[in-house]
Chain A
C-alpha cells in the first residue's frame, strides 16, 4: 500500500512518530491530485503553496516539541460549501464564482485549530442541490470507479477525492443524503451527524432545518477522528447541540454486543436494484454473525418522506438563496442587460432578474421555483404546512422504531452509480433516488453509509445504518465492527 492509500489514523501515527512529515504527505496528495484530477474533477480549487506552507509550519512546531491538535498535520479536503476566510468559496455556482468570505465557517476554524492542512475545496452540486454532482457550474465530478458514471451528490467531490486517494479525510454536507449517497457510490464511509451536532455557522445554507456537516473517510475510525474535531457546541449557531461530544474513536474499537437491528420492509420493495438488495442482505447477515438480532419494523410514513422533503427543502432554499441578487456580493449581470430596458421598467428589479437568471443553474432555479410556489399565498397550507406535519409523523415513526431497535439498517441508494446524463432530463426520477436517505434529515437523526460490496460492474454498494439522535458512538461502533470483518473499504479503483 502506498503512502496515500493508508488510512488517516495510520498516517497520523506516521506523523507523530515523525516517519513522515506533513509536507511530504501534503505534497504526495497534491501530486495525486495533479496526476488524476483532470479526469476526476473532484476539486474546484487547490492552493499548493498555501497548503505546503501550512504543512511546514506544523512540521516546524512538531520539531520544536509543541503539542499539536488532534489532526497534527493531516491533509483534509473541504466541500466548497463551507466558508474559508480569504479563499474563494463558490458553492459550485457561477453566482459565487469570485466570492471570498470574510470569515471561516466554524468547522473550518476547528480544523485549523486541530492543525489540519486544508488541501483544497471539493466539487459539488450547485448549492448542494442534487444527487449526482452533475449540477456543478464548473463541470461534473466523475466516479473514480467508472469515469462514465456519477460519483453521487451533492458531496461528489468529497467522496471521489477519497476514492481516488487524493485526500485521507473529507468534509461534506448532507441535506437529504448528500454525504451518504456519494460515499456509497464511491466506496467510502460517510457520516451524517445528528442535526446540530456540528455547527452550521459558515455553511452556505441550502435547507437550514435539514443541513448537516459531516465527515467522509475510508474507515470508520477515520470518520470518528474527523467527527471528533468538528463536532461540539457553537454559540454562533442557535440550533447547535449543547451536550458534550463523545469519544468517537474509542467507540469504533468497542466490540459489538447484543445489537438490535431493525429492517424496514418497504426499503426492500419496488425500485431497489436486485444486486443492491442482495449485497445489503449479505451485510445484514454479517451483522447477525457479529451477534446482532434483526427484526422487521414498521415505518408507516416513510413512503411520504420524498414528498415532504421536496416541499420543505426547496421552500427553505427559496428563502436562503434570495440573498444572491447582485446587490451585496457575488455575481451581477452586466449593466447593459438591465440599465435601460429588459421586461422591467425598474432597473433594480431587472438587475435582480437578470443576475439570478444567469447566476443560477437549472436545478437551483427549479428548486427556487418549487419552494417559492409552495410558500406562496394560497398554497402554504396545502404544501408547506402539510409537509411540516408529515415531517412530525416521520420523526414519530423513527422515535417508535428506536423504542424497539438500536439501529435501522438498509440500502443507501436504490442502485449503484448511474451514468452521467441518465437522469438529467427527469428531475422527479432524480429526486426519487433520495428515498432511503431523506428520512434521517427530516427527523434530524444520525446515519452512516458503509461500503458493503460491489455490483457485477464493479461499482461500490453501500449499506446505511440510522440511529436515534446523538447515537453517533453506536453507529461508529457498529461500523468499526463491520469493517473489522470486511475488506470492502480497503479496495481501490484503478485510475487511468
Chain B
C-alpha cells in the first residue's frame, strides 16, 4: 500500500510529533517498507474470525466501591514540569 509524505505529515500531527524534513523523508520510506511487508495480511481470509484484543480472555473483573486514601498531593505534583502550590501549570488552553 505504501505511504505518502502527506500521510506522514498528517499522522505526525495526530500524534503530536514535530518532525524535521529528514525525519519525514526517512519515515516515509521506512514505514512504507513495513506497511508493504504487512500487506501480506490482506491475502489471509479472516471472514468470520472474532478479533482477539486480549491475550487472556477473562471477563467481569470489577472491584468493590470502597474508598482508599489518595496520594499526597506533593507526591503526585513533584514530577510536574511546571506547577504551583496546588496545580499543574500548562500553556494556555485555547479554543474554550
| Chain A interface residues (CB < 8 Å from chain B) | 98-100, 102-103, 194-196, 209-210, 235, 238-239, 241, 301, 303-304, 306-308, 310-311, 318, 322, 325-332, 338-339, 342-343, 346-354, 356-357, 360, 362, 365-366, 368-370, 372-373, 376, 382-383, 385-393, 395, 427-428, 431, 441-444, 469
Contact = CB atoms under 8 A, between A and B. Distances in A.
A342 B14 CA distance: 17
A347 B92 contact: yes
12 contacts: A100-B79, A102-B78, A196-B56, A209-B53, A239-B58, A311-B38, A329-B80, A354-B18, A369-B11, A391-B51, A443-B55, A444-B54
Contacts of B91: 338-339, 347-348, 350-351
B31 interface: yes
Nearest to A444: B55
B51 A308 contact: no
A441 B82 CA distance: 38
B16 to A, nearest CB: 4
Q: Interface majority SS on A: helix, strand, loop or mixed?
A: helix
B42 A368 contact: no
Contact of B88 (A310, A328, A395): A328
A366 B50 CA distance: 29
B15 to A, nearest CB: 4
A357 B51 contact: no
Contacts of A241: 56
A391 to B, nearest CB: 4
B34 interface: yes
Given A307-B41, A348-B93, A391-B52, 11 more contacts: A307-B37, A326-B81, A329-B79, A353-B17, A368-B17, A382-B42, A385-B51, A392-B52, A395-B52, A428-B30, A428-B37
Contact of A390 (B3, B44, B81, B90): B44
A204 to B, nearest CB: 13
Given A307-B38, A349-B16, A376 B11 contact: yes
Contacts of B40: 303-304, 307
